[in-house]
Copies of this chain bind each other. A is one copy, B any other.
Amino acid sequence: MKLSATLRSRSDQALAFLRARILDGDLKPGALLAESAVAVDLGVSRVPIREALFALERDGLVEFSETGRAYVKDLSPHDFEELYVLRLTLEPVAARLAAAALREDPSALEKNIEATRRASSLIKVTHLDLDFHEIILEASGNARLLKLWRSSGHELELWLGRLHRSKQIQTHGTREETVSTHCDLLECFRTQPPPVCERKMREHILGWREWLPAGMPVAAHDGTKSTTNRR
């Protein structure tokens, strides 16, 4: 194994490497990440590996046993539901907080949509979709909100990646649908007051669950009971 030299410290390099391996599905759920073994693989000592593993635990990609061993996280449908609820909670609030700033300067969103129109592959569309949401979280001016959103993003990416590889779902709509719904949101930010933007974002996220596989448990947004989506 060879570590990229673009990142400062070896911990960061190990972190990036392991994160990519886990998200790519190269490291299977439940796999033991023994410090010594990984250290030998990557040609570094155990110290940077330890730190990378702790960081991965923070991101939810790794979990520790009681005896301190690190394993690749095995996410359940319930985990996904928790993550979905989290997004459904955070993003509308972020949209409300970001509304004023985005109304004043919607250029970042416009550029993103333009890039999505020109994107050469579906995977790029997916990344630009994520970026679109991140722009809103950043514009909210609440760094903690953004931090929490990002950390949940790693787990979500892990979950969606696994579903995608097992061919159970398409994890998103087409380019046209993405562009269309994002244009809707942009128009909302441009013309509507914050509380309307909040509602719009909630609807946007609720609409996203239509892309999940049939039978995937998702929380009902009225909070009464869990249900399953219709597809």
Contact = CB atoms under 8 A, between A and B. Distances in A.
B51 A82 contact: no
Interface string A127-170: 00000000000000011110010001000000000000000000
A230 interface: no
Contacts of A99: 223
A96 B219 CA distance: 11
A35 to B, nearest CB: 13
Interface residues of A, number: 31
A31 interface: no
A144 B86 contact: yes
B223 A82 contact: no
A97 interface: yes
Interface stretch (A21-29, A115-123, A178-186, A190-198): A190-198
Interface string A38-72: 00000000010011001000100000000000000
Contact of A143 (B58, B82, B97): B82
B195 A82 contact: no
A6 interface: no
A32 interface: no
A193 B96 contact: no
A93 interface: yes
Given A85-B93, A89-B90, A93-B85, A100 B145 contact: no
29 contacts: A47-B47, A50-B51, A51-B54, A58-B58, A82-B142, A82-B144, A83-B144, A85-B97, A86-B142, A86-B144, A86-B145, A86-B148, A89-B89, A89-B90, A89-B145, A93-B223, A96-B223, A97-B223, A99-B223, A100-B224, A100-B225, A144-B152, A148-B148, A193-B224, A194-B222, A194-B224, A195-B222, A195-B223, A198-B223
In the A-B complex, list the 3 residue pairs whose CB atoms are closest, starting with the nearest. Answer: A96-B223, A194-B223, A82-B144
